[in-house]
Amino acid sequence: MIKLIIGNKGSGKTKKLLELINSTAESSKGNVVCVEKGDVMTYNVSHKVRLIDAANYGISGYNELYSLLCGICSSNHDVTDVFVDATLRLGSRDMNELSAFLDRLSAVAEEDNINFIFTISCAKEEIPAHIFEIATQI
């Protein structure tokens, strides 16, 4: 399942994401992973969460982000939840590219029964309707 936390800069997306990450880490029967750009969350996430700084891997664009996420999931079949902060900074602000990325990733989510949760820094009105057919807003 793919879920989105949508809001403009400063609207509390990362705070909400951190709360979800930590509560999921406490209840998950598997592994929880968080991908971010930079090391902002280092001291705010539970030690049970595998924190990955995408900047260390030169992630730039949705194809590279997709590859990273698939690599994470394929290397550990116990992954239950993957959280991604600053999705538009990792991929791009092109909503068609975002839509294609989420569409492609939804097959992985369904097949492997993994929850993917992304923060999207923009107004809800900027998101094309097709994306809401793929993902739900939380």
Does residue 42 surpass a pLDDT of 80?
no
What average pLDDT does range 62-71 have in this prediction?
96
Residue 56's SS3 state is: helix
What average pLDDT does range 36-43 have in this prediction?
79
Helices 62-75 and 95-112 pack at an angle, to 10 degrees, of: 10
**CA-based torsion, 59, 43, 3, 107: positive or negative:** positive
What average pLDDT does range 53-70 have in this prediction?
94
| Spatial contact of 26 and 46, defined as CB atoms under 8 Å apart | yes
Q: Position 79: which residue type?
A: V
Per-residue model confidence as pLDDT tens digits over 11-39: 888 889 999 999 999 999 999 999 998 87
- Give alpha helix (H) positions in the chain: 13-27, 62-75, 87-90, 95-112, 129-134
The rounded distance, in Å, linking the Cα atoms of 133 and 31 is 27
Predicted TM-score (pTM) of this structure: 0.93
Please name the CATH architecture into which domain 2-137 falls: 3-Layer(aba) Sandwich (3.40)
Query: Domain locations in the chain?
Result: 2-137
Element (H, E) at 92: none
Return phi, psi of residue 99, to 5°: -60, -45
The rounded distance, in Å, linking the Cα atoms of 41 and 24 is 16
Q: Beta 115-121 vs 79-84: how paired, if at all?
A: parallel
Q: What is the pLDDT of residue 47?
A: 86
Closest CA to 32 of 1, 72, 65, 68: 72
Does residue 104 surpass a pLDDT of 80?
yes
Residue 6's SS3 state is: strand
